Amino acid sequence: MKRLAIFLDGTWNTLGNNTNVWRLKSLCDPLAERQMVYYGQGVGTRFGEKTRGGVAGYGLENEIIDAYTWLAQAYDEGDEIFIFGFSRGAYAARSLSGLIAKCGVLRPGAPLSIEQLFARYRRADDRTIRKLRAGDGGPPKDIEERWLLAHTVVADIKFVGVWDTVGSVGHPLMTMKSRVKRYRFLDTHLRKANLHAFHAVALDEHRKSFEPTFWTVTTPNGAPATSGRTLDEVEQRWFVGAHANVGGGYSSDILAQAPLRWLMDKAALHGLAFRAGFEMDPVDPAAPIADSYANFTPWWLRAVSKPFHRPVGPPAATGTKLTTSRINETIDGSVFDRWRENPDYRPPGLQAWASRRGIDVVSLRRAVRVEDGAFVERPPPGLAAMVS
């Protein structure tokens, strides 16, 4: 049994950006037995993709296919799969997880190509590998399904760890309709094959085009909004900072440390081996937050729009028959530390949540669950540093 770790960076991110994806990949123990690592630089880093990869989303499919190709060559039945990503790379990571869950892992030398497998993944109405194995819907209907049964391995994804998933392109002129049309086939939802999944989310990102993509659960109207997943299995945690404060990439950025440590500890808990003895700086409530809205939004757009404030624990979205709710949303204790230390730090989304719940934010001193304000159990301190 091997541990296979895949790291997918965000739009325009290269090795020199020092994102949390790159840092966590670099912290993987190079001497650990039976552990292999893959790193994808991210959409927009290839020649010719610098502009269109970031603006129109070109290259995202290639990132998924490249990572899957590496996995198919490295994977043996029973291996443990870990997938990480930031920003658009987080969206790609979750899409890759969906591809594995729906189609399995292709065996080397299979007559079914990876491109054909990906095309099948895009067709949402086709039967998954698990349904084919179970005989759900009858025997294979064509040679593609017969080959899928014969030449793919059903695989779980042991761990998905992502920083601030952005499914949109992040360009102010691209409409939500065009984003949804282009990416509607990508499956970023949680499936039974996802054994553990963790998402660090930026509380202080104010670009509407960078609205985060949460894991959600859809239930009939009036039914309990439960995913059946515990916090040990799935957690989506708010951290102080803008998009790249949480995912990393700014120079001398203290804020990136806490979300990196959180996901590193989670991955170590589930068996990924890291270099021993690495220490991170403690949380600094006074560390500056990047103003990504002012820095990256054109002046003419700022003149006719306002900063977007990400809502914390908003009411569930209710349709005519179904209700959609976020899964296992929490708030990191560092958010409350900053609230106490800095009277100017009052994120509107956090204020609205506290008001709805009747919670005194000053009294909170460690991570809490958004649904009820209850404290989250703390893991053993410095777990990742002890794993080698």
Residue-range domain boundaries for the chain: 3-104+155-369
Report the pLDDT value the prediction gives residue 388, as an integer from 0 to 100: 38
Fold of 3-104+155-369: Rossmann fold (3.40.50)
Q: Give the strand pairing for 3-8 and 35-40.
A: parallel
Report the pLDDT value the prediction gives residue 304, as an integer from 0 to 100: 84
- Please give the Cα distance from 190 to 173 (Å, whole number): 30
Report the pLDDT value the prediction gives residue 12, as an integer from 0 to 100: 54
Given a cut of 50, the residues of the chain with pLDDT beneath it are 13, 45, 47-57, 169-177, 179-180, 385-388
Do residues 160 and 94 touch, judged by C-beta distance below 8 A? yes
**What are the respective helix, strand and coil percentages of the chain, to the nearest 5?**
35, 15, 50
| Backbone region of residue 138 per phi and psi (left: phi > 0; alpha: psi in -120 to 50; beta: other values) | left
Report the pLDDT value the prediction gives residue 313, as an integer from 0 to 100: 96
pTM, two decimals, is 0.91
Report the pLDDT value the prediction gives residue 197, as an integer from 0 to 100: 99
Helix H or strand E encompassing 268? helix 257-269
The number of C-alpha atoms within 13 Å of 190 and in the hemisphere containing its C-beta is 28
